[in-house]
Structure 1
Amino acid sequence: MRIFKLKLVLFLIIFQSCKDDNCGECFTPPQSFSFEIVDKTSGENLFTNGTFNSNEITITDNLYNDEPIDFSFISQNDINIIHINSIGWETETVNLKIRIADNHIFDFYVDAERKIEDCCSYTDYNDIMVLNSEFELNTESGTYVIFTE
């Protein structure tokens, strides 16, 4: 019995030495990306005015044999934006093609690197590009406004 208690005490000491109490809880999720598709001339949201239907959106990754990418469409209060929150959970490069029905709207390239520093994990974005379309980043909302004709 005495040997068992000694082994138990040694086990607890070893186990406690592996624990780093200085880290605490520290996790930063990656940035999500939102896109509003608007008419270049009028500035109208093309989902709100009925030009596009949200059921016809497809997003694929050109780097991975046009693998479908998860996204959501936010229609509450007629906001009507495409929202992608699956990028940056790991180190990755994506080159997304965003299509609505038969229309290629734009490409979205992201080079993301997941890092751990001082016990905290976060995503560092090496490159973020909207390609094949005019756009403007709304710095207040963080939404990319994509202009189409």
Structure 2
Amino acid sequence: MKKLLLSIGCILLFSACDSKSNCEGYACFTPPEAFEFEFIDAISGENLFTNGTFQEEDIAITNQYDNLNVEVDFISENEYNILQIGSIGWETENADYLIEIGEEVSFHLLVDADRVTEDCCSFTRINSVEIEGAEYERQEETGIYQILVD
């Protein structure tokens, strides 16, 4: 009987330990989701990179806090061309990126992001996203921001 009570006591003691405080050996990391943009002719609905209006080399993105250029990926597959920014949210930050495509498009992407850890897993919580200076629609299915250009 003493062994049974001792066993139950040990089980209760170890199950009552806070597992959140010991994350050693627990691999759980979620990178931040990239921001993706498609530039669309507001009248025809055509992708402006696909139809040749813009070229990849027309893209300029500047971090407004330090005036440094921001690295981006231009994804061109099957006549579908989007701009991807993956540098936001790796740490807690407020981002203000000026996005310019040639002389025709200029807008600010403002993001408030927190990098948090809960239950031994780190991830990014996006508190707010604003696009100033451009008309846009966010595609709920894909998460892509379609920037509408006149």
Q: Is the 8 A contact 1:106 1:132 kept in 2?
A: yes
Contact persistence 1:105–1:148 (CA under 8 A): no
Q: Which amino acid aligns with 1:46?
A: L
Q: Pick the aligned partner of 2:39 from 37, 40, 51.
A: 37
Structure with more helix by fraction:
1
Is the Cα contact below 8 Å between 1:97 and 1:104 reproduced in 2?
A: no
**8 Å CA contact retained: 2:23, 2:120:** no
Q: What is the DSSP-based 3-state SS (H/G/I as helix, E as strand, rest coil) of the residue aligned with 1:95?
A: strand
After superposition, residues 124-135 of structure 1 pair within 5 angstroms as 124-135=125-136
Task: Report the secondary structure of 1:87's partner residue.
Answer: coil
TM-score (norm 1): 0.81
Are the equivalent residues in 2 in contact too, given 1:60–1:67 (CA < 8 A)? yes
Stretches of structure 2 that go unaligned for 5 or more consecutive residues are 1-20
Q: For 2:52, which of 21, 29, 50 is the aligned residue? A: 50
Q: Distance in 2 between matches of 1:117 and 1:69?
A: 29
Counterpart secondary structure, 1:42? coil
Q: Residue 55 of structure 1 aligns to a residue in which SS?
A: helix
Task: Report the AA paired with residue 108 of structure 1.
Answer: L
Residue number in structure 1 paired with 2:15: none
1:80-128 Cα distance to aligned partner (Å, 9 max, x none): 0000111100111111111112233321110111011121101111111
Distance 1:136 1:25, change over 3 A: same
Equivalent residues of 2:59, 2:100 under 8 A apart: yes
How big is each residue's C-alpha offset from its partner over 1:40-67, in whole Å with a ceiling of 9 and x where there is no partner? Answer: 1111111111111111101111122x21
Q: Give the Å deviation of 1:23.
A: 6.6
Residues 23, 126 of structure 1: alpha-carbon distance in 2 compared, 3 angstrom cutoff:
farther
* Deviant stretches of 4+, over 4 Å: none
Q: Which residue of 1 aligns with 2:14?
A: none
Between the aligned partners of 1:23 and 1:109, the Cα distance in structure 2 is 36
CA distance in 2, matches of 1:126, 1:25: 25
Structure 1 unaligned runs (5+)?
Answer: 1-18
Q: What is the alpha-carbon distance in structure 2 between the residues aligned to residue 107 and residue 37 of structure 1?
A: 14
**What is the aligned partner in structure 2 of residue 109 from structure 1?**
110
